[in-house]
Structure 1
Amino acid sequence: MTHLRIILNGKSAADVRVRRAVATLRAEGHQVGVRPTWESGDVQRLTSEAMRDAAADGIEVIVAAGGDGTINEVLGTAFTGEGGYGGSFGILPLGTANDFARSAGVDPNDITAALRRAATSMPVPVDIGVLDGRPFVNLVTGGFGSRITAETDPQLKKSLGGLAYALTGLARLGDMTASTGRFRGEGFEWEGPFIAMAIGNGRQAGGGIPLCPGASIDDGLLDLLILPAIPPDLGSQHLMEALRTGPRAIRGLEVRCKSTWFEYEAQEDLHVNLDGEPLLTRTFRVECVPGALSLRLGDSPLLKGRQPHPPVAG
């Protein structure tokens, strides 16, 4: 049996699915502690506390319970924190889009199964991306799509889920302008105007858009997508199709590359989204840190087949 500590986004504290999942896992013999957040900074504090107390309390798995932002914050805190925690991490998807969980094959519609996966799956070493010192688990996106993500009303997201992003994109379509910048990677260089870019450790963002469908979280590489400025003769229909289904709607225009690092530079600010954290920047460097943390994902499509290792006894 496994001892889990859940770092729960306070917005989901009253979610009956979470209570049912915790009760079920306890009935199955697992030890489950829950620490809900209340205010800004609690995720970092509670994660650090769980890592620090793991040996004394026997905590084997720290579970990030919330949306993509909460998952990124828990794992980012672990990545940048002091060493000494020998356990692993799990995810409980409770957000609006749940892009990372869906990429990883964790079903947001079955919270009990997700928690059981965190308790029973073998831990696997996974990569972490780092943008100018800021860690991320899933994706860095930039351009028009990131602006839409930042501007989508939280109440609309709560009501409509991932559809809220597409509706906001439709409303802002007339404001769409291309960014111009230069990208570099291992044996790669591209410069010009573009509508959107993504650098993926995971595969999708924006409520289900598969920006980096070939990315793996344990291959030591990051996947780059650049969607160049779209020729006027393609029309707005293609643009809206791209918002709805991703860049496969205009297959053949996109630029793709894999590398252990990427650099970007431009003369004007670019809207960037770092797993839910909006940024404005003109330059950045992104690097992949292989095998940085141990994550319990079960049979996940994000894994290329690296052998799992036995859990560390608490």
Structure 2
Amino acid sequence: MSVHPIQRIDVLVNPTSGQGKGARVAAEAVPLLQRSGLIVRVRQGRDADEAGELARTAAHEADALVVVGGDGLVQLAADALAGTDTPLGIVPAGTGNDAARHLSIDRKRVRSAVNTIIAGRTRRIDLAHAFGRHITTVIASGFDSAVNERANRMRWPRGPMRYNVATVAELMGFEPLRFTLELDGEVRELEAMLVAVGNGPSFGGGLRICEGAEIDDGLLDVAIIHPIGKAELVRSYPRLFTGSLVNHPRYERMQVRRVSLAAAGVVAYGDGERLGALPMTVEVRPGALRVFAPVS
């Protein structure tokens, strides 16, 4: 960990993150940054494309980029800053905030997250790269991505309850999927409920599907949930929050630098965002992103 001197920063805000939490958090965070003596330029994209362009501009014009939002906005920033020396600061304001969780950034107290940036201590972390994008947390394909696809098609109910309804509906007819995996050159064909590729341990607001994954070890963690009955899948779900699913006999985890996945009709999600339909190849980009982080 090193201290990175900063004077001029761009703050990129997603005001709709966390059902409006982004705007409220930004209103608290920006004055704190300004009172510390930093020169702050606040930016807000009208859509993902414009937000990405603003992040790329910050990589060249600012000493640092700070995002106020969730994992989707962090992913846009990671795309813009990957391979540069411009550090990324995170003030969590999303629903899941798993990138902040991986970095031990305070997800509840805005002042604490801002102080992490003001302190200027940075570290380098790995990124996963797939579909031309950089992922900070987990790429999931299988049952979880099917739930996301169903929820995105639904108009009711609104908010988190939509995903609960989608989970129940998807579970009714879900069957194990046939995957072809290539793991650092070794090909495997198998049936699975879910295959996840983790740069870090969790996704979806603390679901520790890749428990044990480190964000700076130069490796990807591949987690497989082999076929299990629907009742057992429901019973096992709470174990994702504790990381104890790794002890389930139908769970498998391995570490690789490159993995390719193929499965018919399956879509992948990364950092909570839709990436695209399989097949896909995921590679690790060691130390690709500099981030502000608390002293460990």
TM value normalised by structure 1: 0.81
Query: Matched residues in 2 for 1:13 and 1:165: separation?
Result: 19
Partner of 2:198: 200
Paired letter, 1:258 = Q
Q: Deviations over 1:57-108 (max 9, x none)?
A: xx322012211111101111223xxx7x542111121111112222322222
Query: Matched residues in 2 for 1:222 and 1:95: separation?
Result: 24
Partner of 1:275: 271
Residues 76 and 14 (structure 1), Cα distance of their counterparts in 2 relative to 1, 3 Å cut: closer
Partner of 1:252: 249
Alignment partner for residue 46 of structure 2, among 38, 63, 67? 38
> Mean Cα displacement is larger for which, 150-159 or 138-147?
150-159
Residues 14 and 87 (structure 1), Cα distance of their counterparts in 2 relative to 1, 3 Å cut: closer
Partner of 2:141: 142
Query: Matched residues in 2 for 1:264 and 1:227: separation?
Result: 14
Query: Matched residues in 1 for 2:234 and 2:170: separation?
Result: 11
Query: Matched residues in 2 for 1:211 and 1:32: separation?
Result: 37
Q: Which runs of 5+ in 2 are unaligned?
A: none
Partner of 2:236: 242
Indicate conservation of the 8 Å contact 1:144/1:271, yes or no.
Answer: no
Partner of 1:107: 106
Indicate conservation of the 8 Å contact 2:22/2:68, yes or no.
Answer: no
> Mean Cα displacement is larger for which, 132-141 or 148-157?
148-157
Partner of 2:66: 63
Partner of 2:178: 180
Indicate conservation of the 8 Å contact 1:100/1:203, yes or no.
Answer: no
Superposition CA RMSD, Å:
2.6
Residues 261 and 115 (structure 1), Cα distance of their counterparts in 2 relative to 1, 3 Å cut: same
Query: Matched residues in 1 for 2:100 and 2:149: separation?
Result: 20
Residues 229 and 42 (structure 1), Cα distance of their counterparts in 2 relative to 1, 3 Å cut: same
Indicate conservation of the 8 Å contact 1:68/1:98, yes or no.
Answer: yes
TM superposition shift of 1:182:
1.8
Indicate conservation of the 8 Å contact 2:15/2:23, yes or no.
Answer: no
Paired letter, 2:256 = S
For the residue of structure 2 that corresponds to 1:123, the secondary structure is strand
For the residue of structure 2 that corresponds to 1:77, the secondary structure is helix
Query: Matched residues in 1 for 2:60 and 2:123: separation?
Result: 21
Query: Matched residues in 2 for 1:104 and 1:167: separation?
Result: 31
Partner of 2:81: 78
Query: Matched residues in 1 for 2:13 and 2:40: separation?
Result: 12
Paired letter, 1:91 = I
Partner of 2:29: 21
Partner of 2:132: 133
Identical positions, percent: 25
For the residue of structure 1 that corresponds to 2:100, the secondary structure is helix
Indicate conservation of the 8 Å contact 1:165/1:206, yes or no.
Answer: no
Query: Matched residues in 1 for 2:130 and 2:49: separation?
Result: 21
Paired letter, 2:234 = M
Residues 70 and 17 (structure 1), Cα distance of their counterparts in 2 relative to 1, 3 Å cut: closer
Paired letter, 1:210 = R
TM superposition shift of 1:143:
0.2
Q: Which runs of 5+ in 1 are unaligned?
A: 54-58, 301-314
TM superposition shift of 1:112:
2.1
TM superposition shift of 1:241:
3.0
Query: Matched residues in 2 for 1:280 and 1:15: separation?
Result: 29
Indicate conservation of the 8 Å contact 2:21/2:93, yes or no.
Answer: no
For the residue of structure 1 that corresponds to 2:283, the secondary structure is strand
Q: Deviations over 1:249-300 (max 9, x none)?
A: 471211110011112234x121211223324434221111111121112246
